[in-house]
Amino acid sequence: ITIDLTGGNKGSGQVSITSMTVDSGIGVADHESRSDFKTNDNTPEFKGKVENSTGDQWLEVRLHNDADGKDTSNDLITTIEVKAGTTDWTWAPPTPTTGLPDAQYKLTAQVVDQAGNPLSDSNSTLIKSEKDVLIDTRGPLGPDDPAIHSDPNEGFVLTGLKLKDGL
């Protein structure tokens, strides 16, 4: 029996987190906000890729609620086998029936060995990618926050916007 607590192993490849559904954004489908990882969908699905892998590696995908600080006991985690070459991955975190709570999250995808130890490349840099994710199903919260709503008689209506002098 071998117990590996330190890792230190070398891995290969590059990890990317490419998208989430639904990245609500604003405007037309190709607007830059459609890829900012901010959404009003509390049951998101994340996609990414591991490229140039030699195989025999695993990808650990972790969603951490920033409100938990350094406590990782509530993190949502999955492990995906990485094949040689390119592996596309998709992950929908398990969510309660009400969905994930509104919060700022950190999404991390990191190559690990079979024991779960992080792997680094030939330059001793960890093979990982991170994205900040915002889930906000409520929208503006206060009376002074701008809001857009649909009115059947007037179309879209913007309320709560304050202009500074000279504008």
- 100, with CB counted inside 10 A (0-12, 13-18, 19+), is buried
Contact 146, 94 (CB under 8 A): no
Task: State CA 34 to chain mean position distance.
Answer: 13
Residue 107 reports pLDDT greater than 70: yes
Contact 7, 113 (CB under 8 A): yes
Q: Distance between CA atoms of 40 and 147, rounded to whole angstroms?
A: 14
Highest mean pLDDT among 48-57, 60-69, 122-131: 60-69
Higher confidence at residue 5 or residue 49?
Answer: 49
Percent of the chain with pLDDT over 70: 70
pTM for the model:
0.72
Q: What is the DSSP string of 66-107?
A: GGGTT--TT-EEEEEEE-SEEEEEEE-----TT-SPSEEEEE
Mean pLDDT score, 2-6:
55
Length of the chain: 167
What is the chain's Cα-based Rg?
20
Residue 130 reports pLDDT greater than 90: yes
Q: In the beta sheet, which residues pair with residue 134? A: 38, 104
Counts for the chain of helices (H) and strands (E), in that order: 0, 10
